[in-house]
Structure formats: structure tokens, C-alpha cells
């Protein structure tokens, strides 16, 4: 799953990033999900998780984005405006043979972005195009 900051603004500093990852992981685990990897860049977050049948992707995205944006706004890390994630997200289902490759990709986001080895389809979140208009 991947989602981005509103307008793809680079608002996740390295310090804030760690807090967001802990918050998202905690919320996913609270929902009964098992987080296999989390990573991203200053403008987006990826998460690889195993979810129980009772937790749809939309529930996971809504809860993880909601609690993490509330946490960020509570911290108010020198933002002149309220922090918001974009409305959408992208979600991909994986076969067992794909899990290790995707976990590695997510854990090494910064390296992939630096080296230009990103997977374009996995870097776009649902409403990215409309956020730029």
C-alpha cells in the first residue's frame, strides 16, 4: 500500500518519518495486521502488511492515515498549515513468491529513489494526478 502527502509536498523529515512509521505500524497492529515493511520518502509512505479477512485495505488506509496525520498535527513540526495526506492510496495484493522482493523494495526506498530504480506503478498513489491540478 502507498499513500502520499497532500500535493506530494516533502513534509516528512527524517525525525518525523520515524514517528509516523511507528504510529502507522502501531495502528496496523492494533487492527490485527502484521507489518512486514514500512518505508518511504519525504512525500509518501509504503507499507507491506498481512491483513486479516476482517480488515479491508480501505479500513487499514483510513485508520493509518488518520492516526498518523492527527499525530503529526499534534506535534506541529513547524508547519504553517495543517498536515494532510492526499485522499487516495494505492493497494497491491501479493503472491507469496513476491513478498520478499516487495519487502526489500519498501525497506530500501531511499536507495531506489537515489539510484533511479523505483517501480513507477508502485510509486503513484490514487489521487496523485488530481492533487497536482
Can you give the pLDDT at residue 110?
Answer: 78
Distance, C-alpha 99 to centroid of its chain: 17
Across the range 71-84, mean pLDDT stands at: 80
pLDDT per residue over 96-120, tens digit each? Answer: 999 998 899 889 877 766 666 655 5
Task: With cut-offs at 50, 70 and 90, classify the pLDDT of residue 129.
Answer: very low
Considering only CA atoms, which of 12, 78, 57 is closest in space to residue 39? 12
Selected from 3.30.499.10, 3.30.70.1290, 3.30.450.40, 3.40.720.10, the CATH number assigned to the domain covering 2-132 reads 3.30.70.1290
Can you give the pLDDT at residue 101?
Answer: 87
Can you give the pLDDT at residue 111?
Answer: 77
Torsion angle of C-alpha atoms 8, 14, 16, 17, degrees rounded to 10: 70
Weakest-pLDDT range from 86-90, 94-98, 128-132: 128-132
> Domain-by-domain residue ranges, the chain?
2-132
Considering the entire predicted model, what is its pTM? 0.82
Residue 29 has pLDDT above 70, yes or no: yes
Of all residues in the chain, the percent with pLDDT exceeding 70 is 80
Over the chain, what is the mean pLDDT?
A: 85
Q: What's the half-sphere exposure (Cβ side, CA atoms, 13 Å) at 44? A: 23
Amino acid at each position: 500500500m502507498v499513500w502520499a502527502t497532500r500535493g506530494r509536498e516533502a513534509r516528512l523529515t527524517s525525525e518525523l518519518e520515524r514517528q509516523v512509521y511507528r504510529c502507522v505500524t502501531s495502528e496496523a497492529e492494533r487492527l490485527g495486521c502484521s507489518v512486514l515493511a514500512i518505508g518511504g520518502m519525504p512525500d509518501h509512505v509504503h507499507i507491506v502488511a498481512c491483513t486479516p479477512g476482517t480488515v479491508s485495505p480501505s479500513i487499514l488506509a483510513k485508520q493509518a492515515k488518520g492516526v498518523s496525520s492527527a499525530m503529526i498535527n499534534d506535534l506541529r513540526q513547524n508547519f504553517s498549515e495543517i498536515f494532510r495526506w492526499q485522499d487516495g492510496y494505492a493497494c497491491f495484493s501479493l503472491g507469496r513468491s513476491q513478498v520478499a522482493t516487495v519487502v526489500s523494495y519498501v525497506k530500501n526506498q531511499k536507495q531506489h529513489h537515489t539510484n533511479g530504480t523505483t517501480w513507477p506503478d508502485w510509486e503513484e498513489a490514487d489521487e496523485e494526478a488530481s492533487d497536482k491540478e
